[in-house]
């Protein structure tokens, strides 16, 4: 059958679907990471990235970032088995800990970059949780959608 007869199989539609699935999974990962951020008091710092203050603004910014990064994960990682997806998720979380937690966020706030302290360790835990939960959610979404 041609792809014209089935728009759901059109390459653009497949890219959009993979991105949306990843974004939804990323929000799930962001919610779990967000709990850790509430417990460690990090959400007001996230709000500062957009010139805001307070945990509520930080939570919104965090979830938007989580969805965008999740979409990237959904696009970058092919449909694969659960274990392979978890490994990819942990690796993705680790990469974003370095890029986001150690480089971009501190630089954006005028702080020293690549500083490893208690906050950075909690950030590592959160980013790993984000990657693992996002990967697990993505596997479930893909499996439910018949794309596992």
pLDDT of residue 62: 97
pLDDT of residue 77: 94
Phi, psi at residue 41, to the nearest 5°?
A: 70, 25
Q: DSSP string spanning 50-94?
A: GT--SHHHHHHHHHHHHHHHHHHHHHHSPS--HHHHHHHHHHHHH
Q: What is the residue-level pLDDT of the chain in tens, covering all 148 positions?
A: 344 444 456 788 888 999 999 999 999 999 999 999 999 999 999 999 999 999 999 999 999 999 999 999 999 998 888 999 999 999 999 999 999 999 999 998 999 999 999 889 999 999 999 999 999 999 999 988 874 4
pLDDT of residue 8: 54
């Amino acid at each position: 059958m041609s792809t014209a007869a089935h728009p759901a199989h059109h390459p653009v539609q497949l890219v959009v679907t993979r991105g949306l699935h990843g974004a939804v999974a990323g929000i799930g990962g962001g919610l779990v990471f967000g709990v850790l951020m509430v417990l460690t008091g990090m959400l007001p710092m996230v709000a500062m990235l957009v010139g805001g203050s307070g945990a509520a603004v930080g939570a919104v910014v965090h979830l938007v970032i989580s969805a965008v990064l999740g979409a990237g994960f959904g696009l970058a990682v092919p449909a694969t088995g659960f274990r392979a997806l978890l490994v990819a998720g942990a690796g993705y979380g680790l990469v974003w800990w370095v890029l986001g937690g150690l480089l971009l966020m501190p630089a954006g706030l005028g702080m020293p970059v690549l500083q490893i302290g208690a906050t950075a360790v909690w950030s590592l835990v959160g980013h790993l949780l984000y990657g693992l939960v996002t990967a697990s959610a993505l596997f479930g979404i893909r499996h439910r959608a018949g794309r596992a």
